[in-house]
Amino acid sequence: MTDLGRLEDLPADYVAELRAHNLVPLWPSLRGVLPPKIPTRQTQATHWPYQTIKPLLLRAGELTPIEKAERRVLVLANPGHTLEKMQASAAMYLGMQLLLPGEWAPSHRHTPNAVRMVVEGEGAWTTVDGEKCPMQRGDLILTPTGLWHEHGHDGTDPVIWLDVLDLPLAYHLEVSYHLNGSRQDVIPGRGDRAYARGGVVPTPVFGRSGKRYPMLRYPWADARAALIALASDRPELDAVQVTYVNPETGEDAENILGFHALMLRPGQSLKLPARSPAVVFHAIEGRARMATDAQAFDLAEADTCCIPGYTAITLTNTSADTPAFFFVADESPLHRKLGVYEVRPDNQPHMP
Ligand code: 1HN
């Protein structure tokens, strides 16, 4: 590949004159913005152990009342993007949120899409678009773009959950904003039970519900049962994984980020091919060794990690007798919509 001309090769007065007119020569920067064969990624493989986060989050509960925080969150920031950017990857934001007994995080809505993955504690709830969703460990609760949501806690011990948002993308697109509201009236209706059995959905005899997001809560008990059934039905299947979908359309549960649950059989080692989206793993039950070409670490229960795109991953269940279960979030719906989704089973470019 030919070396392209550098900025230093140009007369300083010429460069200064260009700049004065808000003009920039492309060729000195062309390889930077369009590198050969593989994108430059700022996202670094990063591991956030829960044992580190939990005491610091409980301390935040002592230091900052909910009224002074609105959302009491420690952000899982990827150092590759600089901590100030508060992003886990190019499109994903991660945060651990604490709600103490009796607290209320007031109703608001915003343009970024969010989900909650419940990590620990009993008795909290999130009301989304008038539907009161109980929060239990491993449950996935959607708060898609534009829907009102608020969190409350009727239990006796702290509740902690993982927030995943497409905030970095929305912010970059200059479409990120919020509106404050008042306490929502709770409307009867349980989308989580109405769509609880795969293959059958409520019949719209009197017309469709009109809801773009008919299912807001995906109970862990159901996703876990689906994984166990899949593993026993398909003994030869390597990737025992399910995707959280909109049960009326079969499409991804949200527009931009993808959400999945993954099971590793006892002792299983799973090789995942390099794919274009960055991916987040959160250990719901059990533990695993996470390895890329460059790095390895142990993911303990409730730990979270982020792996950049275009990276092959080997996940190994270090227990010989119990399965391990993971929540997986990635940027695949976004990449597919943009037409840049790519799998590299042989680590070679396969431009779509
Ligand atoms: C948000 O609305 C929540 O509703 C949590 O719990 C984290 C991070 C950035 C922007 C909005 C919530 C958030 C957030």
- Which tens digit of pLDDT belongs to each residue from 240-289? 999 999 999 999 999 999 999 999 999 999 999 999 999 999 999 999 99
Cα 324 to middle of ligand 1, angstroms = 28
- Which tens digit of pLDDT belongs to each residue from 119-136? 999 999 999 999 999 999
For the question of whether the overall pTM of this predicted structure is more than 0.85, the answer is: yes
Q: Whose CA is nearest to atom 3 of ligand 1?
A: 71
Alpha carbon 293 to its chain centroid, in Å, reads 23
> H-helix or E-strand containing 223?
helix 220-233
Given ligand 1 and candidates 66, 73, 117, 166, which is best to mutate, with the most ligand atoms within 8 Å of its CB?
73
Given ligand 1 and candidates 57, 66, 70, 71, which is best to mutate, with the most ligand atoms within 8 Å of its CB?
71
The 3-state DSSP class for residue 333 equals helix
Torsion sign (Cα): 134, 286, 267, 241: positive
Tell whether the model's pLDDT for residue 189 goes beyond 80: no
Cα 188 to middle of ligand 1, angstroms = 25
Cα 71 to middle of ligand 1, angstroms = 6
Contact 94, 115 (CB under 8 A): no
Contact 263, 242 (CB under 8 A): no
- The whole-number pLDDT of residue 191 equals 84
* Ligand 1 binding residues, C-beta < 6 A: 71, 73, 95, 97, 105, 110, 114, 149, 151, 163, 165, 167
Structural domains of the chain, with CATH: 46-344 (2.60.120.10)
- Which tens digit of pLDDT belongs to each residue from 19-62? 999 999 999 999 999 999 999 999 999 999 999 999 999 999 99
